[in-house]
Structure 1
Amino acid sequence: MAALRRLRQCHPTGIAISPFHTASRAFAKQHYKMLVVGGGSGGISMSARMKRMLGAENVAVVEPSEMHYYQPIWTLVGAGAKTLTSSGRSTASVMPSGVKWVKSKVQEINPDTNTVRTDDGNEISYEYLIVALGLQLHFEKIKGLPEGFEHPKIGSNYSVQTVEKTWKALQDFKEGNAVFTFPNTPVKCAGAPQKIMYLSDAFLRKTGKRAKANIIYNTSLPVLFGIKKYADSLWDIVKQRDLQVNLRQNLIEVRADKQEAVFENLDKPGETKVLEYEMLHVTPPMGPNLVVQGSPLADEAGWLDVNKDNLQHKRYPNVFGIGDCTNLPTAKTGAAVAAQTAILNSTISKVLKNEKPDKIYDGYTSCPLVTSYNTVILAEFDYNGQPLETFPINQAKERRTMYHMKADVMPHLYWHGLLRGLWGGPGPYRKLFHLGMK
């Protein structure tokens, strides 16, 4: 139950607040021209852009967590290639200076009165609102979790509390089944559930344990990866490395005390299969942010209902959305957020001038598919599931250069480019590399 409480909190404390911007808990009614709810990658990068557009004193960010994490690197943390410490910095250090940091949790958004209520009872009013609240992890929707994480041999790269348990399980592996799962819900970074499988395979080969391992990837999807060009390459890797992929298999229960995982066959509802494991990596079911879901801003499924071309809300023109909390029909990745910041910046600039937004988001997203400790397939694609590659080479091939980009270049770009509102994705470079062609 301690694990359950920790997973629900998910907000490590103990980092001092920087003197360069103000944190607020108990002020009376506050009003801002631009209010940003959520201090993840979308929220921080947009607040930096809004500071430049409107002035720091007109911008506030509501975010309860004292720590900010670069989550894409957790794939490598779970495989022992990076440390958890390297993935985090204090929220104070990434908050744009002068911007008001309201260190509270959003409890309710009321777009009809242009107000947001926080968990400490404060009400904040706004002229314009950017919703960047991310999505919700639901370990509890799998029977036996999250309390199962109290046991060894089970981890998840999707939570700060459980990512190091993945690496421990991998190191402790002796022989038997190493099982990796993909849930029957939308997820963030849809490649991550299988990246850890390829890295585990590489680690077990390196340590001489691969011959005693049966590596199994059970996915709820009917495909290995949603974009055929990259899926074809991944199937080749699966065959070469003797990895077992089972489609339409959904994890419904973990019996951590017995080291058993129970899967339902989605094509034959009610039919289940029990797998014993020596290592289990769980990708939790995910869903809309609960505050968004409970507000008039949500679509029928609970996601923030925005225009897919310009990220403006469909019914409330002074509300905008970015990242995982939205219903944009593209993969939920950090790369997508980067591209969206440039579009949203342009949209807001036009709206403030009473002009029609004219910059259109093509759905660009990217997934660096880590296939070993030194190779990556760089998948990049648009709304239509068509490859939208930055480099004039075949990115469906495993490359060492792309691994270096994933492990070393992208974190630098994140901390010093994206979060400062200076990086809006590789679009301009793609045009350059392709001589103006798509």
Structure 2
Amino acid sequence: MACAFRSKFLYDNSRVLASTSWFTCKNYCSTSKNSYELVVVGGGAGGCAAAAKFSSKLGAGKVAIIEPADMHYYQPMFTLIGGGMKTLKNSCKPMSKVLPKKADWIKQRCISFDPDNNKVVTEDGKEISYKYLVLALGMQLNYDAIPGLIEGLTTPGSGVCSNYSPAYVDRTFESLKAFKSGNAVFTFPNTPVKCAGAPQKVMYISEEYLRKEGKRDKANIIYNTSLPVLFGIQKYADALWKVVKSRNIEVNTRRNLVEVLPREKRAVFQNLDNLAEKVTTDFELLHVTPPMSAPKELKACQQLTDANGFVSVNKDSMQHTTYSNVFGIGDCTNSPNAKTAAAVAGQIGVLRKNLSAVMAGKPLTAVYDGYTSCPLVTGYSKCILAEFDYSGQPLETFPINQAVERRTMFHLKKDFMPDMYWLGLLNGYWEGPGLMRSAMHLGMK
């Protein structure tokens, strides 16, 4: 399933909703109703899937979904948009078209939580009570945490770009087309991120684009990552090291972007193994993966979250560790899996079974194994399909070595996964490739 996915609550700390077009929408719920059997907070992949499953199960008017955005973005496509293979228009649909019709859509931001009294409060001051709660708020993009970054992202011709927001994703291909010579720098921040593969996928695509355009010999491709490794799963890291070496890409580990000087076209990095040491690099193109965190409003509720502001869940059941009527799904939880859409697909079946069990007063039996995947696009026609579990062991769907660059996996990512997302996951039908994997491995995996 797809990577780098989240499609709501893409806001930075300046409170600009990057996933919102702010046009008038007439399809949201304007009811005065303030009590529901189930409240889902967040209209991304996890929120849509959970609301679809339980509004169908409980019936019309029993489920509310709280989400302020007008548009829903399929963010795994942003990698392809940055490479000129898709357009932003291809990646989005009106929120009114993807939320389940049997659920009431409360078009507000949820600003506070009161789990002791089973209530949430929306931005207009309305209290919504619930019997059960699903938290699916995604992650917050903190572009303003790096001095000079927003200036760079909003200055024409600066060469600063980012695939992570619909507000900026078009700048990536524009910067590629404008590239003449010099350093093309790609970053990975010192925070949790959506899909650890996405920051380098744009690099591989950019490198191939420059080769096709006859500019590669004038370009120095640099990947500066805060991590001590190229990728967290050894099998795929080994394959990616072969890719970067064959393409003469410079990789610097433990190097974190701390400032952008857009007028000078310089970026300042901190050595995380020696915090007093800073390295300044000139750039012609700078692709930034922004620092990320749990949403501000969620972090403010310490009863629901851990020290970092992520929802405290049992990693096996996705049930909250304190409140048995609360579940989390997707990027906003502290479940130790990689944060991808594929993880949501793996979690939604577990949530469906375990929340249904709580509703019926039965014990929880479903277990999430940490499954996730990241289609590591390495150019305009090849992809390494990484799939793995909590332990970091490969959990591959197909009976072939998926650590090899393949055209088939590229077309799976580019042509098949979008429909699987829109038609399957958001409607609550797709619960990951477990059954397919078992069939393809003759029940041995």
Q: TM-score range by the shorter chain?
A: over 0.9
Which residue pairs with 1:277 in the alignment? 283
Aligned-partner residue type, residue 94 of structure 1: V
Given candidates 420, 430, 433, the residue that maps to 1:423 is 430
**TM-score, structure 1 length as denominator?**
0.96
CA-to-aligned-CA distance 1:333-379 (integer Å, 9 cap, x gap): 00000111111001111111111110100000000000010100000
Which residue pairs with 1:114 in the alignment? 118
1:371 aligns to 2:378 (yes or no): yes
Given candidates 221, 239, 257, the residue that maps to 1:233 is 239
Which residue pairs with 2:52 in the alignment? 48
Which residue pairs with 1:13 in the alignment? 22
SS of structure 1 residue aligned to 2:319: coil
CA gap of 1:431–1:5, structure 2 versus 1, over 3 A, is closer
Given candidates 320, 325, 329, the residue that maps to 1:313 is 320
How is 1:65-104 mapped onto 2 (pairs within 5 angstroms)?
A: 65-104=69-108
Given candidates 143, 150, 154, the residue that maps to 2:154 is 150
Q: 1:92: Cα distance to partner?
A: 0.2
Aligned-partner residue type, residue 34 of structure 1: L
CA-to-aligned-CA distance 1:162-218 (integer Å, 9 cap, x gap): 110111101100000000000000100110000000000010001110010000000
Given candidates 27, 30, 35, the residue that maps to 2:34 is 30
Q: 1:4: Cα distance to partner?
A: 8.2
Unaligned segments of structure 2, at least 5 residues: 1-10
Aligned-partner residue type, residue 39 of structure 1: G
1:260 aligns to 2:266 (yes or no): yes
Aligned-partner residue type, residue 442 of structure 2: L
Aligned equivalents of 1:7, 1:85: Cα separation in 2:
23
1:437 aligns to 2:441 (yes or no): no
Aligned equivalents of 1:56, 1:329: Cα separation in 2:
34
SS of structure 2 residue aligned to 1:56: coil
Aligned length: 431
Aligned equivalents of 2:38, 2:25: Cα separation in 1:
26
Which residue pairs with 1:287 in the alignment? 293
Which residue pairs with 1:39 in the alignment? 43
Which residue pairs with 1:132 in the alignment? 136
CA-to-aligned-CA distance 1:99-123 (integer Å, 9 cap, x gap): 1000000010110110010001111
1:246 aligns to 2:246 (yes or no): no
1:186 aligns to 2:192 (yes or no): yes
CA-to-aligned-CA distance 1:20-46 (integer Å, 9 cap, x gap): xx422xx54610000000000100111
Aligned equivalents of 2:32, 2:245: Cα separation in 1:
62
CA-to-aligned-CA distance 1:277-306 (integer Å, 9 cap, x gap): 000000001111212211110012211000
Q: 1:13: Cα distance to partner?
A: 2.1
Q: Among the aligned pairs, what percent are the same residue?
A: 54
CA-to-aligned-CA distance 1:204-261 (integer Å, 9 cap, x gap): 0011100100000000000000000000000000010000000000000000111110
Query: Is residue 133–residue 327 contact of structure 2 (8 Å, CA) maintained in 1?
Result: yes
Which residue pairs with 2:416 in the alignment? 409
Aligned equivalents of 1:406, 1:378: Cα separation in 2:
9
Aligned equivalents of 2:365, 2:338: Cα separation in 1:
23
Aligned equivalents of 1:221, 1:4: Cα separation in 2:
23
Query: Is residue 370–residue 377 contact of structure 1 (8 Å, CA) maintained in 2?
Result: yes
Unaligned segments of structure 1, at least 5 residues: none
Which residue pairs with 1:205 in the alignment? 211
Aligned equivalents of 2:26, 2:83: Cα separation in 1:
32
Aligned equivalents of 1:319, 1:44: Cα separation in 2:
17
Aligned equivalents of 1:261, 1:320: Cα separation in 2:
41
Aligned equivalents of 2:12, 2:393: Cα separation in 1:
40
Query: Is residue 29–residue 122 contact of structure 1 (8 Å, CA) maintained in 2?
Result: no
Aligned equivalents of 1:254, 1:314: Cα separation in 2:
40
Aligned equivalents of 1:193, 1:17: Cα separation in 2:
37
Aligned-partner residue type, residue 149 of structure 1: L
Aligned equivalents of 1:23, 1:164: Cα separation in 2:
32
Aligned equivalents of 2:189, 2:228: Cα separation in 1:
12
Given candidates 131, 136, 141, the residue that maps to 2:145 is 141
SS of structure 2 residue aligned to 1:146: helix
1:383 aligns to 2:387 (yes or no): no
Aligned equivalents of 1:97, 1:271: Cα separation in 2:
55
SS of structure 2 residue aligned to 1:9: coil
CA gap of 1:68–1:4, structure 2 versus 1, over 3 A, is closer
CA gap of 1:408–1:238, structure 2 versus 1, over 3 A, is same
Aligned-partner residue type, residue 160 of structure 1: P
Aligned equivalents of 2:15, 2:90: Cα separation in 1:
20
SS of structure 2 residue aligned to 1:8: coil
Query: Is residue 201–residue 376 contact of structure 2 (8 Å, CA) maintained in 1?
Result: yes
Aligned equivalents of 1:370, 1:241: Cα separation in 2:
15
Q: 1:7: Cα distance to partner?
A: 7.0
